[in-house]
RNA sequence: GGUCCCUUCGUCUAGUGGUUAGGACAUCAGGUUCUCAUCCUGAAGAUCGCGGGUUCGAAUCCCGCAGGGAUCACCA
């Protein structure tokens, strides 16, 4: 049995979004599972569409997700080079052989002529087949001439590891361009040569290639190549419509999720479980569980819509599984923290205390600033927090002031440990005769100027004695004004 | 239009002849001495696209239809 070799073969035309990476995820999982090899190959045969820098972005994306490749442009193996533009002599060699053996012919028709033929067929409501227009006396193929495959129409039935049994009649088999007039091969030709030369055992890609399968199969047969295992994955659809997810409709690049503070583990989990499950009710899969349990035959055959809510939920559950020190390390970037943190609070031990409090309400790291500003600086008094509070608005400023003074008097004696604070807050409920909903809300607003915060005792402990008491004083002053 | 594929709660899905059609996200309600969140409990939510068959019995098998998608390049 041959060792498993899979590949991800993107063309460098832009960043990778959620829809694209699945074409890399599945073959990567298959290779990992089998202890095989995952190859990264760059398909840059269309010079016109190439976007500079795209290759680096793709590499960065795969690396962030932990989908390391074993062979690729920067990881020489026995089957290089791994960039198609550097393999041109190879394609030309095969092309020459096919021309010599009569398996392909020079097609010197201009694009305009071809277009006219297509339109003519269309007006007659017939399918256009290039093989119906083969030249009677083809010229000898020479550099600069397009080379077209001479197909052998027949019915094909094959098995797709994801889609199951597929078949198509001879009308799906046609002549197609192998070598373009710029002497570059087409995808249709190059990928088959490469997969063969690189001993690829599993070709896993998006379902847009299914329609071309009969043509490819015909070429494999003409060349005498064995068929690899094929697996065509359905597209991920846009959240609203039924269209395939695309950049045009605002699909974000995977790297953008990284920059917003999503975890690779969550992204991997989300990507895999969109359209795949192991048959149990498990939803959360670690990377190693995915590798162990993934199988192509359990991939859904219909397209799944991209649901960002689910990603958010998953990321939250992965964040909650982190230890506080892991969480600190992962969030240790300026973009994830409020601007201009005073130096006395800009240290790992203080920030870790803050993180411990907000960990369970975090969905992604970029929302840390909005959740934590009051831990780092005093915010201006917002009188609407009290005036719109459904419990507090019923009290007069004097009554509120009295409660705050009682709070001050008690807390000034505290060592501000969370445990001590909790005890004193409970005592204050007795002293003031108020419900938690009233007293705690008041103290929270006074000390954070925020509508929501983590548990009061823990929050006060982190804010500290000096600032807490000061902020309560400031609130009392504002109430008097 | 030709060819090929798909169709179970709003969304992602389990399900392969007999189930009260199960779970998850989202939503709503209650609970966890306060808010937000977490967690727990519960509710609502699917005439299994439609119409015919086969069968004692069909989401599951067969046929037809409809809707959706992919593809018909010297793009990948």
Instruction: Quote the CA–CA distance of A344 and A251 in Å, as a whole number.
Output: 40
Closest nt to residue A44, judged CA to C1': B76
Q: Is the pLDDT of residue A481 over 80?
A: no
Closest nt to residue A283, judged CA to C1': B24
The reply to whether A212 Cβ lies less than 7 angstroms from strand B is yes
The reply to whether A299 Cβ lies less than 7 angstroms from strand B is no
- Protein residue closest via CA to C1' of B24: A283
- Residues A106-150 pLDDT 10s: 998 888 888 888 888 877 777 889 999 888 888 899 988 999 999
Closest nt to residue A48, judged CA to C1': B75
Q: What is the pLDDT of residue A123?
A: 79
| Beta-bridge partner residues of A157 | A167
State mean pLDDT over A32-47. 95
Task: Place A1 in a pLDDT band, splitting at 50, 70 and 90.
Answer: low
Distance of A216 CA from B27 C1′ (whole Å) = 48
Lowest mean pLDDT among A14-23, A58-67, A309-318: A14-23
Task: Place A375 in a pLDDT band, splitting at 50, 70 and 90.
Answer: very high
The reply to whether A315 Cβ lies less than 7 angstroms from strand B is no
Active site residue A247: yes
Task: Place A47 in a pLDDT band, splitting at 50, 70 and 90.
Answer: confident
Distance of A16 CA from B48 C1′ (whole Å) = 36
Instruction: Quote the CA–CA distance of A461 and A350 in Å, as a whole number.
Output: 11
Region of residue A229 (phi > 0: left; psi between -120 and 50: alpha; otherwise: beta): beta
Distance of A237 CA from B21 C1′ (whole Å) = 26
Distance of A234 CA from B14 C1′ (whole Å) = 19
Bases of strand B lying below 7 A from some protein CB: 1-8, 10-15, 22-26, 33-39, 68-76
The reply to whether A183 Cβ lies less than 7 angstroms from strand B is no
3-state secondary structure of A70: coil
Q: Which residues contact A398 (CB under 8 A, 6 or more apart)?
A: none
The reply to whether A393 Cβ lies less than 7 angstroms from strand B is no
The reply to whether A20 Cβ lies less than 7 angstroms from strand B is no
Look at residues A323, A337, A333 and name the one whose alpha carbon lies nearest to residue A368: A337
Lowest mean pLDDT among A196-210, A236-250, A394-408, A418-432: A236-250
Q: Which long-range contacts (CB under 8 A, 24 or more apart) does A156-159 make?
A: A156/A213, A156/A214, A156/A217, A156/A218, A158/A213, A158/A217, A158/A227, A158/A230, A159/A230
The reply to whether A125 Cβ lies less than 7 angstroms from strand B is yes
State mean pLDDT over A307-328. 96
H-helix segments, A6-53 = 18-34
Task: Place A155 in a pLDDT band, splitting at 50, 70 and 90.
Answer: very high
The reply to whether A14 Cβ lies less than 7 angstroms from strand B is no
Distance of A265 CA from B65 C1′ (whole Å) = 45
H-helix segments, A65-186 = 88-100, 111-123
Q: What is the pLDDT of residue A241?
A: 63
Closest nt to residue A169, judged CA to C1': B3
The reply to whether A231 Cβ lies less than 7 angstroms from strand B is no
Angle subtended by helix axes A348-358 and A368-376, to nearest 10: 120
Q: State the catalytic residue, choosing from A247, A252, A363, A465.
A: A247
Task: Place A246 in a pLDDT band, splitting at 50, 70 and 90.
Answer: confident
- Residues A331-371 pLDDT 10s: 999 999 999 899 999 999 999 999 999 999 999 999 999 99
Q: Is the pLDDT of residue A57 over 80?
A: yes
């Amino acid at each position: 049995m041959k060792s498993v070799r899979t590949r991800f073969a993107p063309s460098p035309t832009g960043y990778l979004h959620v829809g694209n990476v699945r074409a890399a995820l599945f073959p990567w999982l298959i290779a990992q599972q089998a202890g095989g090899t995952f190859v990264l190959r760059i398909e840059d045969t269309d010079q016109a569409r190439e976007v500079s820098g795209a290759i680096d972005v793709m590499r960065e994306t795969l690396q962030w997700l932990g989908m390391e490749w074993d062979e690729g442009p920067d990881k020489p193996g026995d089957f290089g080079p791994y960039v198609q533009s550097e393999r041109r002599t190879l394609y030309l060699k095969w092309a020459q052989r096919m021309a010599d053996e009569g398996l392909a012919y020079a097609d010197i028709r201009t694009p305009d002529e071809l277009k006219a033929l297509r339109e003519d067929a269309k007006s007659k409501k017939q399918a256009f087949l290039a093989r119906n227009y083969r030249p009677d006396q083809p010229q000898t193929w020479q550099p600069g001439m397009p080379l077209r495959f001479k197909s052998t129409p027949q019915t094909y039935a094959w098995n797709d590891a994801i889609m199951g049994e597929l078949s198509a009649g001879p009308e799906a088999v046609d002549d197609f361009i192998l070598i373009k007039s710029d002497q570059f091969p087409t995808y249709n030709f190059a990928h088959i040569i490469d997969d063969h030369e690189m001993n690829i055992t599993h070709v896993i890609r998006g379902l847009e290639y299914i329609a071309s399968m009969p043509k490819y199969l015909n070429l494999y047969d003409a060349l005498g190549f064995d068929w690899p295992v094929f697996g065509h994955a359905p597209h991920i659809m846009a959240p609203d419509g039924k269209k395939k997810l695309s950049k045009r409709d605002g699909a974000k690049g995977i790297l953008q999720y990284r920059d917003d503070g999503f975890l690779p583990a969550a992204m991997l989990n989300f990507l895999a479980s969109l359209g795949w499950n192991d048959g149990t009710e498990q939803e959360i899969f670690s990377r190693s569980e995915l590798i162990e349990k993934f199988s192509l035959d359990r991939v859904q055959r219909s397209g799944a819509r991209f649901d960002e809510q689910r990603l958010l939920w998953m990321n939250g559950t992965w964040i909650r599984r982190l230890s506080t020190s892991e969480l600190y390390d992962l969030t240790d970037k300026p973009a994830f923290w409020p601007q201009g943190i005073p130096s006395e609070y800009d240290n790992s031990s203080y920030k870790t205390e803050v993180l411990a409090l907000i960990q369970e309400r975090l969905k992604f790291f970029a929302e840390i600033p909005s959740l934590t500003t009051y831990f780092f600086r005093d915010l201006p008094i917002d009188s609407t927090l009290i005036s719109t509070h459904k419990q507090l608005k019923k009290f007069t400023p004097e009554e509120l002031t009295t409660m705050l003074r009682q709070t001050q008097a008690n807390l000034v004696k505290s060592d501000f440990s969370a445990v001590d604070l909790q005890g004193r807050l409970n005592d204050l409920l007795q002293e003031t005769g108020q419900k938690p909903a009233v007293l705690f809300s008041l103290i929270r607003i006074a000390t954070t100027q925020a509508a929501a915060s983590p548990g009061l005792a823990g929050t006060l402990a982190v804010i500290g004695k000096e600032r807490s008491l000061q902020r309560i004083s400031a609130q009392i002053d504002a109430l008097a004004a």
